[in-house]
Amino acid sequence: MADPRTTRVLRQHLETERLLGVEAVPADAATLAAAADAARRSVAATPGATPSTPRAWAQPPAWGGGSQPGGTPLSDLPGTPLPERVAGDAAASLRVLDEQAVRGCTRCGLHAGRTQTVFGAGDPAAALMIVGEGPGAEEDRAGQPFVGAAGEILDKQLAAMKLSREAVYIANVVKCRPPDNRTPSSAEAATCGAYLRAQIEIVSPRVILTVGGPAAKLVLGVTRGITQVRGTWHTYDGPGGPIPVMPTFHPAYLLRAYTPENRRRVWEDLQAVMERLGDGAG
Ligand code: SF4
């Protein structure tokens, strides 16, 4: 039986892998022991690494059935009856969507474990929309996306882009916290994705930045991991037309792997977003 510290470190390692898009791990004892050693070395080499919320040991296949994940692009979702938009008023349209549809929503099982829904925040007419996967424990308590240590990293990234939270719009694929911070299932993402799609339609951003492997998979329907899809432009088929999407690493991943190489990669992604926003081509 592993001691509590080993268990905690191993869970940190698994969380880091999950943010990179790894959804399943071999379960034989030898591999797990090797992973525990790697996790100890990783944390020992990362001063100030922030402990993660403990996670369930074995993650179920995120996309169901244990088969090769195919993902369900939000652009392929069937329409979901939602409140009508307030003509010419994006802020009011978002408020109505939140108050009349999302806050009391019980359309998927995630509602059972939430403290409150986390709808989204920011400029209703933002040129840049940032999409994460789902609320964590701190977001669930605060009712706001990207709070805590990962939120501080995001704030620094936005400042480096000469932006602020007030100047962008931030939302997650699912509005309720998944138990143990697990990745939302494809069914949960498909159901709640109707809200995100409505938010994208209302905000009508010129560029979308997805953070983390799960968000990229959920938004774009790609099956490859974040290390393979980040740094290249993709397209989200929005209700108002195609929107360029840049996937990058999740701020929480940088907390655990704050290496010059990862910071350089993320900065390159953010610079590409800045160029896209600046050239008016988005
Ligand atoms: Fe509704 Fe989304 Fe919450 Fe599921 S995650 S209950 S669809 S708001």
Query: Are 14 and 140 members of one domain?
Result: no
Query: Are 241 and 188 members of one domain?
Result: yes
- CA 255 to centroid of ligand 1, rounded, Å: 28
Residue 16 has pLDDT above 60, yes or no: no
Query: Are 88 and 198 members of one domain?
Result: yes
For 110-113, which contacts have Cβ atoms below 8 Å and span 24 or more sequence positions? 110/134, 110/174, 110/176, 110/177, 110/178, 110/179, 110/184, 110/188, 110/192, 111/176, 113/176, 113/177, 113/178, 113/179
**Nearest alpha-carbon partner for 243 in 193, 197, 278, 182:** 197
| 118-122, 187-191, 237-241, 262-266: least confidently modelled range | 237-241
Interval 4-25 mean pLDDT = 55
- CA 101 to centroid of ligand 1, rounded, Å: 10
Residues touching ligand 1 (Cβ under 6 Å) are 102, 105-108, 110-111, 117, 174-176, 188, 191-192
| Domain region containing 238 | 74-278
Residue to substitute in 100, 118, 182, 191 for testing ligand 1 pocket (most ligand atoms within 8 angstroms of CB): 191
In a domain, 228, yes or no: yes
Query: Are 156 and 210 members of one domain?
Result: yes
- The residue whose CA is least distant from atom 4 of ligand 1 is 108
Residue 261: partners with Cβ closer than 8 Å, 6 or more residues away = none
Beta bridge partners, 13, equal none
Residue 40 has pLDDT above 80, yes or no: no
